[in-house]
């Protein structure tokens, strides 16, 4: 069954590579001038998601909760590299997850600056804009280092999880690499004691999650309020500028719902239940599938909502359909074919 879930992750990874490659093509060739420097931030995000999706061909980790343990592990069966290399790939995968948290916030910060020129001039002008590009890297590095320092393999965690992995996955824990938070450990006195190291680790991860979500909510709400109050009354804004800003904002609203459902909520749940010592172990691999699904569907709001990208997408579909009609020997070629091609 785990092989099936692993294949599903790789399928989503392949879809993600296709959709993000297509979005990168649209950004590079079909972007309106009004997008300005936001074009490069969109391209930055697209390339990040391409890298994230490509990792599914090297690691397809499984996440599980068992009593007070949250574990993310990778079965070494069928993997051609050694234990240490697999552990590095697992940490890189988790680092990308941490970077994605900051990427959500970065887009909302930029969009707020696009409508609030005072904020843009104070915080996003000139070299200051580079901070937005560094934030996802810094966030990912902190996430990865936290996983490495506070969640590394240990003999105590391995002994506790050995029977669980054997019974549920028919997997010897020595045949996998993993990171884990073990919140409540049995002491020499036979009583359960909190593991301070695990609580510090999850505290850092919660800070990254919380700060990202705060930025999304704060700048998203303020962006909406600013557009509602000011954008319609600004005489120096052209209709085209207003249209592009509105399209981008609606795209971001949908893109905010996607990570909230697929990333923020699952991550919060899988950390919280073992932390309060509740055995919440889902039968199906919810989180790893939602994480793999996220970069596959994330480009669609941008492609479908931004007019220039949507029209280019429709023209490509019409062109392909016309080519299919022509290839089947049909004489009824659409009259607007020349317009589609052009």
What's the per-residue H, E or C state across the chain?
CHHHHHHHHHHHHHHHHHHHHHHHHHHHHHCCHHHCCHHHHHHHHHHHHHHHHHHHHCCCCEEEEECCEEEEEEECCCCCCCHHHHHHHHHHHHHHHHHHHHHHHHHHHHHHHHHCHHHHHHHCCHHHHHHHHHHHHHHHHHHHHHHHHHCCCCHHHHHHHHHHHHHHHCCCHHHEEEEEEECEEECCCCCEEECHHHHHHHHHHHHHHHHHHHHHHHHHHHHHHHHHHCHHHCCCCCHHHHHHHHHHHHHHHHHHHHHHHHHHHHHHHHHHHHHCCCCCCCCCCHHHHHHHHHHHHCHHHHHHHCHHHHHHHHHHHHHHHHHHHHHCCCCCCCCCHHHHHC
Confidence of residue 188 (pLDDT cuts 50, 70, 90): confident
* Mean pLDDT, residues 2-31: 87
* Mean pLDDT, residues 325-339: 41
The total number of structural domains in the chain stands at 1
Q: In this prediction, what percent of the chain has a pLDDT beyond 70?
A: 83
Q: What is the pLDDT of residues 261-297, one digit of tens each?
A: 888 888 888 899 899 888 776 665 677 788 888 888 8
What pLDDT, on the 0 to 100 scale, is given for residue 93?
Answer: 93
pLDDT reading at 320 higher than 90:
no
pLDDT reading at 333 higher than 90:
no
Residue 297 domain flag? no
Residue 308 domain flag? no
Residue 126 domain flag? yes
Residue 234 domain flag? yes
pLDDT, greater one: 339 or 257: 257
Confidence of residue 331 (pLDDT cuts 50, 70, 90): very low
Residue 226 domain flag? yes
What pLDDT, on the 0 to 100 scale, is given for residue 324?
Answer: 54
Residue 326 domain flag? no
- Most confident listed range (36-40, 89-93, 262-266, 316-320): 89-93
- Domain range for 206 is 60-284
Residue 80 domain flag? yes
Residue 305 domain flag? no
């Amino acid at each position: 069954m785990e092989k099936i879930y692993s294949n599903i992750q790789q399928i989503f990874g392949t879809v993600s590579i296709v959709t993000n490659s297509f979005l990168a093509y649209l950004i590079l060739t079909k972007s309106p001038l009004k997008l300005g420097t936001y074009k490069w931030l969109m391209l930055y995000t697209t390339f990040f998601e391409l890298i994230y999706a490509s990792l599914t061909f090297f690691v397809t980790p499984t996440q599980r909760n068992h009593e007070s343990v949250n574990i993310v592990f990778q079965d070494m069966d069928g993997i051609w590299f050694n234990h240490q290399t697999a552990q590095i790939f697992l940490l890189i995968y988790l680092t990308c997850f941490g970077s994605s948290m900051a990427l959500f916030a970065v887009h909302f910060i930029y969009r707020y600056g696009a409508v609030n020129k005072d904020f843009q001039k104070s915080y996003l002008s000139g070299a200051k804009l580079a901070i937005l590009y560094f934030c996802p890297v810094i966030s990912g590095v902190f996430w990865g280092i936290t996983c490495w320092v506070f969640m590394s393999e240990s003999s105590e965690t391995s002994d506790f999880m050995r029977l669980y992995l054997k019974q549920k996955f028919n997997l010897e824990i020595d045949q996998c690499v993993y990171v884990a938070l073990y919140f409540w450990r049995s002491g020499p006195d036979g009583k359960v004691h909190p593991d301070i190291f695990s609580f510090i680790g999850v505290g850092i991860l919660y800070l990254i999650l919380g700060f990202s979500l705060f930025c999304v909510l704060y700048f998203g709400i303020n962006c909406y309020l600013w557009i509602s109050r000011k954008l319609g009354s600004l005489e120096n804004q052209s209709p085209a500028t207003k249209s592009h800003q509105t399209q981008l904002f609606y795209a971001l609203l949908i893109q905010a719902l996607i990570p909230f459902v697929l990333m923020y909520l699952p991550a919060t749940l899988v950390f919280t239940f073992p932390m309060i010592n509740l055995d919440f172990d889902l039968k199906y691999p919810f989180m790893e599938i939602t994480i793999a699904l996220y970069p596959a569907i994330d480009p669609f709001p941008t492609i479908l909502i931004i007019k220039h990208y949507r029209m280019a997408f429709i023209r490509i579909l019409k062109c392909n359909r016309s080519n299919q009609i022509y290839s089947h020997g049909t004489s009824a070629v659409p009259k607007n074919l020349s317009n589609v091609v052009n």
